[in-house]
Structure 1
Amino acid sequence: MTWQATILTLFPEMFPGPLGLSLAGKALREQRWAVDAMDIRGFATDRYRTVDDTPFGGGAGMVMRPDVLDAACAAAQARNPGAPLVYLTPRGRLLDQALVRELSTGPGVVLLCGRYEGVDQRVIEARGMLEVSAGDFVLSGGEPAALLLLDACVRLLPGVMGGVASGAEESHGAEGLLEYPHYTRPAEWQARRVPDVLLSGHHAEVARWRRAEAEAATRMRRPDLWDKHLRNELARPARLDGHPAAA
């Protein structure tokens, strides 16, 4: 079954965009996933194809109308039954690798890309939308965030990445740690040498070094992830020697 992405947007020409290239593009051509961009303006009912109006209570900007969006959502969900309806918004749950894995194992996603000041709250509630944020910053619309989410999901689909282990060993992998440093030839460059352990051929020592580097980078750069990692480690069942059991 092909993983289906249905996008509700005012700018359908933005898709697949960069997702038509590289790994995602190859997977798209191989029909491992599919994308269907639907123009929200096609669900407007007036001659001007109006999708927004002034906010009740006053204020700057415009708000996307609930009646137009509800009709668009109904059509998108009919095309992609069973897929969660995700509204991309700065006020949503922060997108992380756990959510990406969850979405990539389902039938696909329906993504609502907001514009202007946002979306009428009533349609969010009526449709039970999952609100998701790409980060603590503001974009001009939900489309760039949708591209980011889709890229993260598509690369986890079966057959998309070349190595089975590569997805688990990279940043934010199974244990939530940042990735360890990488090196390649030449072994010495501008008087900087590759760490000796990586040249030793001792696989167990290499694994220990990489683990230590990943932990150090996470602890220093992302204390929030490090705290979460420690909590997860404490929650894992202990082995007979008192250490957390391997996953």
Structure 2
Amino acid sequence: MAKVKFTIITLFQDALAPYLSTSMMWKATKNNIAEFSFVDLRDFGLGPHKSVDDTPYGGGDGMLLRCEPVFAAIEKIKQDDPTAKVILPTPAGQIWCQSLIRQFAEKIESQEENHFIILCPHYEGYDERILTLVDYQVSLGHFVLTGGELPALIIIDSIVRLLPGVLGGESSAIIESFSEGNTIEYPQYTKPADFRGMKVPEVLLSGHHGKIKEWRESHQRPSQS
């Protein structure tokens, strides 16, 4: 069975650990499909205050992550696993979409790549020279967050859920939004069949699998992105 390891470099481990120890991520860990570990960037900080950031050359507001602590943290991790790939969440990166996520999942299943270091940037950004260490730059969209922790969770969750043995049904990760092209999954219903006058379409109650398949295919919705 394929297994993936994520090592997250962050200043805020406490913001990440609860999510990664619940629900499907807990199941993936329990079943030895995924492993999560944390590296505190502050451990590699400079001076008595363990500084990891400084003001940008040329002036401007905010602070940038410095090269020294980031290089030291990544190099320390790679001493144990030189094959680990570095992911950087950044607005300048490739848009994180389902087809790209599947590529990562396929690499893990084939064991082509099975260890990812996710660097969580903070402050105003990072020293550009840090990019020399980065294998994948990814963006969640055209907006800016205060840090990389939320993107890190989204990246991890979206990959891990596609690995065999994580979701309940065999086809759960296939028959869903964005599985084929830029479409949203068809509408779905559960009991009761009539709720406050809003009724489940009759075809879904018919038991006729062919007609149900036709209805679902005809009711896939285009993404509004």
Q: CA deviation at 1:171?
A: 0.7
Partner of 1:146: 152
Residue ranges of structure 2 left out of the alignment (5+ in a row)? none
1:163 is aligned to 2:164: no
Contact 1:80–1:110 at 8 Å: present in 2 too? no
| Mapping 1:59-74, distance limit 5 Å | 59-74=60-75
**Segment drifting more, 67-76 vs 56-65:** 67-76
| Mapping 1:151-230, distance limit 5 Å | 151-214=157-220, 217-218=221-222, 221-222=223-224
1:107 to 97, 111, 114: 114
Partner of 2:30: 29
Instruction: Pick the structure with more helix per residue.
Output: 1
Contact 1:4–1:80 at 8 Å: present in 2 too? no
Structure with the larger RCO, 1 or 2 (CA within 8 Å, 6+ apart): 2
TM-score (norm 2): 0.90
Residue ranges of structure 1 left out of the alignment (5+ in a row)? 225-247
Contact 1:86–1:129 at 8 Å: present in 2 too? yes
Distance 2:121 2:203 in 1: 49
| Mapping 1:2-81, distance limit 5 Å | 2-81=3-82
**Segment drifting more, 139-148 vs 169-178:** 169-178
Partner of 1:229: none
Q: Across the two proteins, how many residue pairs are aligned to each other?
A: 218
Q: CA deviation at 1:80?
A: 4.2
Q: CA deviation at 1:147?
A: 0.7
Q: CA deviation at 1:130?
A: 1.6
Contact 2:87–2:134 at 8 Å: present in 1 too? no
* Secondary structure of residue in 2 paired with 1:165: coil
Distance 2:115 2:197 in 1: 49
The list of structure 1 runs, each at least 4 consecutive aligned residues, that deviate by more than 6 angstroms after superposition, is none
Instruction: Pick the structure with more strand per residue.
Output: 2
Contact 2:4–2:35 at 8 Å: present in 1 too? yes
Q: Greater Rg, structure 1 or structure 2? A: 1
Distance 2:141 2:80 in 1: 29
Distance 2:60 2:155 in 1: 31
Q: CA deviation at 1:29?
A: 2.2
Distance 2:177 2:79 in 1: 36
Indicate the percent of aligned positions where both proteins have the same amino acid.
38
Distance 1:200 1:153 in 2: 35
Letter in 2 for 1:28: T
TM-score (norm 1): 0.83
